[in-house]
Structure 1
Amino acid sequence: MLAILLALVFAAVELLPGDAATATSERGESAADVAARRHLLGLDRPVWERFIDWMTGLPTGDLGTSARGQKVTDLLADPFPNTLLLAAVAFMLTAVVSLALGCWAATRPGRLTDRIIGHASTSAFAIPEFVVSVVLLVVLSLWTGWLPAVTTTGSDGTPATWTMLIMPALALVIPQTGWNTTIVRGALADQASTPHVEAAYLDGLPTHRIIWRHALPGAVPAIATGLATSTGMLLGGTVVVETLFNYPGIGNVLASAVSTRDTPLIAGVVICAGAAISVVLLAADLSRARTLGAQS
């Protein structure tokens, strides 16, 4: 799947107007200079040849050279860990809040609390990350001044203070919490009709104990799959969120690479994000298989 995705990246950039040689040219350069840069970057070769050459270096960790002559691995060495940090914080917050809200709603089926959480979850998931980001900027920065509007970096290239992670993380967490709360609530509702959970209700056990001890373990496969799916959405959302908050991650790198038609750099960002998503999806599949195996 990653190989197909990378092939589509190369093809999509090829269809965009202009190329890296033109996009990185300086004022006053002649057509001959641009043609020479195009030859140096290999842009005069068929796109499939450039794709095969790039894929050949991938097993050795060589992500190619950017349009400005820098190693792609060097360009991603600092931003990618920052993005992973932001995504990890958002992922953990999403998991904790979604479980708490989903279980809370499950303890009050059909009641006002359950309906409010259900409607709020649907509304939160429907709001794009950039809208959430703008609202957070206006409320938490411009109106109250509680948090900095933009992210500044320290000498090591990471955010200068932990408070600069709050708004970018919240912008990612709020929509995904809505999605995962719905999944948790639905998974627990499915478990409520299983024989062992019905027996627990008939025995008169407290509702919260039934949810945590009897229903939740059986709902783990569905919940894990939902959270794993959110990983791709979280990493995808960083492109917009990092740009709005000037966060030093791969979102800014990707936006710049697209504007300069820098195919190797775009592919480098995609392969890093794709590898991270694949690892999380694999972990979710293993968790699902283990849980289902234990139940059988």
Structure 2
Amino acid sequence: MAGSLIQAAHPGPAGDDAPRPAPAVARLLLRVAGVLARRVALLAVLLALVFAAVELLPGDAATATSERGESAADLAERRRLLGLDRPVLERFREWMTGLPTGDLGTSARGESVAGLLAGPFPNTLLLGGLALLLTLAVSLALGCWAAARPGGTVDRTVSATATGVLALPEFVVAVALVLVFALWTDWLPAVTLTDAEGSPASWKMLVLPVLALAIPQIGWNVRIVRAALADEAKAPHIETAVLDGLPRHRIFTHHLLPGALPTIAAGLATSTGMLLGGAVVVETVFNYPGAGSVLTGAVTDRDSPLIAGVVAVTGAVVSGVLLLADLVRAWASGGRS
């Protein structure tokens, strides 16, 4: 009994049987694996709904892609070649088996879906990435500016403007930008011309599409940044920092902003999906060579593999950004514990 008490009071070197806490890295990896598994399952359900929704549309891919004058026998043969004579569940299962290897199937016009997306989708990522960076920079600047003097003229003006901008659809913003900067002032081009590689021929052709995508999301994220900073300002450690006499800028950069970072990261991650979704409309307005035009044509052709391919690639990008936001939140929360 005494020996065990002495051993408990003066523990020796940990042996193999001593309990060891799970490393933080292992816990983080398990969390990441769980999040990925849930999002992969959600994406699979979404892709199944895509196939089902296309199946419910009037007509089919064989009819939509047929040439004038084709006979009923020709259409029947086209349906057989496209696999439309098989149940939709069987076609979906076959398409999903190739997804882990990067095989997105074949379009209704006989082209590789991966090949069709190889050029346009990077253009969409460029457009969405620039819009996301602009959203981050402007939202942080305006949100911090408004939060620096709560209740003041700047705070009220920024908050009211952000609310109004948030309510504007991308289509309305795009038309207004074309009207002002292309038709009235002739400062920027209204449509996008492409070079030999299929990319925008000039950086000027990116300005209006990026602004059309970013402006509504700036309104959304300014409100998130402002609210996150206001909530964090009520935390006890902020009051302690003020009582300790720390400079105002140091409190803001070392205490207030890091504490609001998880909420800000979550807002930006949500904006990623909205930006990629809004890109379909914006690319149509500006004739931008992105995945939006591919998706529009795919819906017209009732092309299930091509529509699902666009959704799968977009979902993978959004899931990656959401996972990055989760890691930022975990890091920020760990840093404060």
Q: TM-score, normalised by structure 2?
A: 0.86
SS in 1 for 2:146: helix
Give how far 1:209 is off: 3.8
1:272 matched to 2:308: no
Give how far 1:205 is off: 4.8
Alignment of 1:36-75 (within 5 A): 36-75=77-116
Give how far 1:200 is off: 3.1
Specify the alignment match of 1:93 in structure 2: 134
Alpha-carbon separation, structure 1, partners of 2:43 and 2:278 = 19
Comparing 21-30 and 261-270, the one that deviates more: 21-30
Paired residues of 1:136 and 1:171 also in contact (CA < 8 A): yes
Specify the alignment match of 1:27 in structure 2: 68
1:189 matched to 2:227: no
From the CA coordinates, give the structure whose radius of gyration is larger: 2
Paired residues of 1:188 and 1:211 also in contact (CA < 8 A): no
Alpha-carbon separation, structure 1, partners of 2:270 and 2:192 = 27
Paired residues of 1:187 and 1:222 also in contact (CA < 8 A): yes
Specify the alignment match of 1:8 in structure 2: 49
Measured against aligned partners, the alpha-carbon deviations of 1:170-218 in whole angstroms (never above 9, x if no partner) come to: 0010000000110000000011111121233345555444322220010
Specify the alignment match of 1:291 in structure 2: 332
Alpha-carbon separation, structure 2, partners of 1:241 and 1:208 = 39
Specify the alignment match of 2:206 in structure 1: 165
CA RMSD of aligned residues (A): 1.0
Comparing 189-198 and 167-176, the one that deviates more: 189-198
Pick aligned residue for 1:217 from 215, 234, 258? 258
Alpha-carbon separation, structure 2, partners of 1:208 and 1:186 = 19
Paired residues of 1:24 and 1:260 also in contact (CA < 8 A): yes
SS in 2 for 1:254: helix
Give how far 1:108 is off: 1.0
SS in 2 for 1:127: coil
Amino acid at match of 2:85: D
Alpha-carbon separation, structure 1, partners of 2:164 and 2:198 = 36
Specify the alignment match of 1:249 in structure 2: 290
Comparing 5-14 and 193-202, the one that deviates more: 193-202
Specify the alignment match of 2:269 in structure 1: 228
Specify the alignment match of 1:154 in structure 2: 195
Q: TM-score, normalised by structure 1?
A: 0.98
Paired residues of 1:106 and 1:185 also in contact (CA < 8 A): yes
Give how far 1:24 is off: 0.7
Specify the alignment match of 1:131 in structure 2: 172
Measured against aligned partners, the alpha-carbon deviations of 1:88-143 in whole angstroms (never above 9, x if no partner) come to: 10010000100000000000100111011111111111100000000001111011
Identity %: 69
Gaps of 5+ in 2: 1-41
Alpha-carbon separation, structure 1, partners of 2:333 and 2:152 = 31
Amino acid at match of 1:80: F
Measured against aligned partners, the alpha-carbon deviations of 1:58-82 in whole angstroms (never above 9, x if no partner) come to: 1111100000000001100000110
Paired residues of 1:106 and 1:211 also in contact (CA < 8 A): no
